[in-house]
Amino acid sequence: MTTCTNCDTLVSGRSKYCDDCRDTSAPWRPDNASIQVAAKHLGIDVRVLVRRSATRKLLGRYHGIKLTPDAVRDESVIKTTSDEDLNAMMYHYITVSARLTPEAASRVIWHEMTHAAQYERNPGHYVNKYAEELRDAKRIAARTGIPFDRLYRMISFEIEAKANEDNHYQVCSLALANLRASMPSLKRPHSRIDKVVNGKIIDGTHADMFEKHAKRNISTAKTMLSV
């Protein structure tokens, strides 16, 4: 047995890389072990499941608490199961855009996990109050002409999520980098191949531009919050 050149996990045979690191469909994958640690830090009791999404419209989304397929198929399972066992069948479902860099994905996971913590603290309050603040933001935007995106970031639930995102995404990364350079299977050698976005290799110039736009967007969001 040898270890993966990229992430140090054990690999069998003569391969230099584990199967996860050979995945170039996205620049990142969820760090499930770190995600569960982060969940405890946020006071989340129900398991958190993070999946990559192909959507280009949203960076991430919290979908609420879901039940495992077995529980969904058979309602009698829910009625006859103890609270402890039922808790094991539940999970917070989060999707995050597959096109993000590992650093950006970590930010989004922290953000969406904060919404999971908010839901657990008081499900009714989270659902109703969030919807109320969202309606208010839309009304104010329509009446004043202030961009809705700016008002959306001022929703109390979003402010807390943004604060957690800023404070934790680097201290405890929740996304692992997939191998993006020096892959034996790459047929197109390039001295500065350093990103894979949407499954496509992009060279250093375009990668720099991608990072520049991401940093500019983060800077803009911080400015909006400070107003």
* pLDDT, greater one: 182 or 82: 82
- pLDDT-based confidence at 55, cuts 50/70/90? confident
Percent of the chain with pLDDT over 90: 36
- pLDDT-based confidence at 188, cuts 50/70/90? very low
- pLDDT-based confidence at 194, cuts 50/70/90? very low
Q: Are 18 and 4 in contact (CB under 8 A)?
A: yes
pLDDT at 216: 61
Residue with tokens 């995404």: 169
- pLDDT-based confidence at 186, cuts 50/70/90? very low
Lowest mean pLDDT among 46-55, 75-84, 103-112: 75-84
Q: Distance between CA 2 and CA 104 in Å, rounded?
A: 31
pLDDT at 24: 60
Q: Are 133 and 157 in contact (CB under 8 A)?
A: yes
- Note the pLDDT tens digit of each residue in 141-181: 999 888 888 888 889 999 999 998 988 888 899 998 876 43
Domain ranges of the chain: 28-177
Q: Distance between CA 183 and CA 221 in Å, rounded?
A: 35
- Note the pLDDT tens digit of each residue in 4-22: 766 667 777 776 666 666 6
Give the strand pairing for 47-53 and 195-197.
Answer: unpaired
